[in-house]
Amino acid sequence: MTIDNTNGGTDSRSGADTDADTDGGRAAAKPNPSRRSEQSRRAILTAARELVSELGFAKLTIEAIAARAGVGKQTIYRWWGSKGEVVFEAFLALSDPGEGIVLPDTGDVETDLKYLMRETVAEFADPAFEAPVRALNAEIINDPKLARLYHEKMAAPVDEAKKERLRSAQRAGQIAADVDLDLALELLYAPLYQRWLLRSGPLTEEYADSLVALTLKALRP
């Protein structure tokens, strides 16, 4: 984890709105982040992570998080705006890779993509991954703010690494130079993700291979 600044990351109030926040007269209190207990923060995040795995997101309660963390409920409400935010930050802390992500590059884009996609299929089959990620996605559907955070903090770094691999393929002449890489990524991953998330079909390695093959046909120069 990178050294934290005052903001701390998930702070919901620093939302999309332009936080000039001169506070013309709002009654709401503004907790001072510099006095925040790092110990409590970590205990809450840990408890949240554990409980999501144990109960699933829907059955998770703020009270249970507070109890497990040995923390007053107010300490949660003071720093997070919803159950979703807590859980999201818990995931964020977990998944934070620290530095850059580098994907394998054997020189053959098809080989590498098939490897990546098979890996993703395997990951989706892991029950420890399943519950929390489903929970997060279900929340994202109904919470634009969370969606934005998710894409900024969690998806973007990974996507950037994948696009870097595609750029390398472009340089190698394996993919057309004028292809929109964002679109290309969606073509590759969205079908897979959707099958898993919405259970619209079986997820096998063969499926992953077919998907890569078909997509690469579209991307070829």
Q: Which residues contact 33 (CB under 8 A, 6 or more apart)?
A: 6, 7, 8, 11
Would you give the distance in Å from CA 83 to the centre of its chain?
Answer: 16
Binding letters toward a second copy, positions 41-80, x by CB under 8 A = ---------------xxx----------------------
d(C-alpha 135, C-alpha 84), whole Å:
9
Per-residue contact string for residues 61-100; x = within reach of DNA by CB under 7 A:
xxxx-x--xxxxxxx-xxx--xx-----------------
CB 132 within 8 A of CB 51: no
Within 10 A of 44 (CB to CB), how many other CB atoms are there? 25
Other CB atoms within a 10 A radius of the CB of residue 76 amount to 23
x/- letters, 13..52, toward DNA (CB under 7 A) = ----------------xxxx-xxxx-xxx-x---------
Which residues between 164 and 203 bind a second copy (CB under 8 A)? Answer: 179-180, 182-184, 186-187, 190-191, 193-195, 197-201
Partner from a second copy, DNA, none binding residue 181, C-beta < 5-8 Å depending on class = none
CA distance 122 to 193: 12
Binding site for a second copy (CB under 8 A): 1, 56-58, 134-135, 137-142, 144, 147-148, 150-151, 155, 179-180, 182-184, 186-187, 190-191, 193-195, 197-201, 207, 210-211, 214-215, 217-219
